[in-house]
Amino acid sequence: MATVVDSPNKEANKSALANKKVTIVFVLGGPGSGKGTQCGYIVQHFGYTHLSAGDLLREEMKSGSENGFVIKDMIKEGKIVPSELTIKLLEQAMLENRNDKFLIDGFPRNEENRAAFEAFTGIEPEFVLFFECSEEEMQKRLLSRNQGREDDNIETIKKRFKVFMESSLPVIEHYEAKGKVRKIDAARPILEVFEAVKACFTRGDIKVNQL
């Protein structure tokens, strides 16, 4: 289980998640690396609740709120939404769910996201699933999935991949230094990828580190 530690912030600024004692696995990978598909299998086999940071942001965007308009503009530009906004959406989703095991898909997107999440919640992930896939393969998948998302066009895809490479790799390196990263070759067929994923959830040597 992810370790909950005391935060240096005042009590009023602490997340209520500290009392829920949740287990969190971050799921990272470039756009089109297959994170969502694999999360579906993990939910079925291991009982986690899947929270997609991107889906939560898109739901907020559709709500017509002021924050929703900000999110819409940033997503169109392939930019990263402010940490505070995303963390609050994730916190609300976890507090409203009765489960205590969560896959957080597509977050943290950068080091600032990571630091802000850990500072606010006092929680560090049990481990990080990192789906490795070439830009060419991810681009082919995104253009062929035909889900009607307005960010599935060649120009925005290239922007998203560039942002991912520049911003997310430092997060991977941070957790890799702590022995928390489980790298997955995501270019393989779906079921082969899941066999590798299953091994990550059944390993007996996973260590839980305090912040």
User: Is 36 part of any known ligand binding site?
Assistant: yes
User: Is 153 part of any known ligand binding site?
Assistant: no
User: Is 80 part of any known ligand binding site?
Assistant: yes
List Cα–Cα distances, 120 to 21, 96, 98, 135, 177, in angstroms. Answer: 14, 18, 21, 33, 22
Query: Quick one: pLDDT at residue 75?
Result: 78
User: Is 30 part of any known ligand binding site?
Assistant: no
User: Is 35 part of any known ligand binding site?
Assistant: yes
Architecture of the domain delimited by 20-202: 3-Layer(aba) Sandwich (3.40)
Domain residue spans of the chain: 20-202
User: Is 106 part of any known ligand binding site?
Assistant: yes
Strand order in the sheet with 181-185: 49-52, 101-105, 23-29, 127-132, 181-185
User: Is 203 part of any known ligand binding site?
Assistant: no
The three-class DSSP label of residue 52 is: strand
Query: Quick one: pLDDT at residue 76?
Result: 81
User: Is 34 part of any known ligand binding site?
Assistant: yes
Where helices occur in the chain by DSSP H, the ranges are 17-20, 35-46, 53-62, 66-76, 83-96, 111-121, 135-145, 154-176, 190-202
Mean pLDDT by 10 residues, the chain (211 residues): 42 71 92 86 96 90 88 81 91 94 93 94 94 74 61 69 82 95 91 94 52 34
User: Is 108 part of any known ligand binding site?
Assistant: yes
The gap from C-alpha 112 to its chain's centroid, in whole angstroms, comes to 14
